[in-house]
Homo-oligomer: A and B are copies of this chain.
Amino acid sequence: VSRSGLDPRVARSREALLRAALDELAAAGYAGFSMESVAERAGVGRSTLYRHWNDRLRLISEALESLNVQPRADTAEGPARAGVERLLGHLTDAVARGPVAGVVPALVHASELSREVAVFWHAYSLQRRAALVEALRRGVDSGELPAVDPELAADALSGAVFYRRLMTPAPMTADEVGDLVATVLGPS
């Protein structure tokens, strides 16, 4: 147990439970998230769940870390505007589909209640945003884009996507991304 590796049962349980926790979070939200039903989803005893995480917050926090996959820094080359559009396209997609999508509203809420979740969520957002800021800065420096503040432009662009997802019934679609960029950064 100590040095080289874990008991394979532990690995199996933890994996199944973390996956189940994300499913539950997407299905039931943060309120309504039930340890009982996570265990059931995972096909694992309730006590096994509690053996690894003493309460719901610790489970959720750790489950979220498994989302923490670096989006590729694929914006280093080519026209800056295209990079920005690509990143926003990814974001548009991420908030509509995939494991993160269902979890975003729960995260927004949970961040308000739990320091730990907030730290994760802000870090996660910061990372996405950093790529966008970088692409913007590159475009501004090269003169390809107008002389906007890259930070505020990133807030506006990302914010529009989240705004449409969380405050309106109509999330942004892929083909609106170009228009959005044109609106904020001027026509291409």
Contact = CB atoms under 8 A, between A and B. Distances in A.
Interface of A: 28-33, 102, 105-106, 108-113, 118, 121-122, 125-126, 129, 146, 148-149, 152-153, 155-164, 166-169, 172, 176, 179-180, 182-184, 186
A183 B152 contact: yes
A156 B88 CA distance: 13
Interface secondary structure of A, over-half rule: helix
Nearest to A150: B183
19 contacts: A29-B31, A31-B31, A31-B110, A108-B109, A108-B166, A111-B166, A122-B169, A125-B167, A126-B168, A129-B167, A146-B186, A155-B160, A155-B164, A155-B172, A155-B180, A159-B159, A159-B162, A159-B163, A186-B186
A52 to B, nearest CB: 19
A118 B105 CA distance: 12
B167 A156 contact: no
Given A159-B156, A160-B159, A180-B152, A167 B121 contact: yes
B159 A176 contact: no
Contact of A156 (B149, B157, B169, B186): B157
Contacts of A149: 179, 182-183
A161 to B, nearest CB: 7
Contacts of A164: 155, 159
A158 B102 CA distance: 22
A112 B163 CA distance: 14
Given A29-B112, A30-B109, A156 B168 contact: no
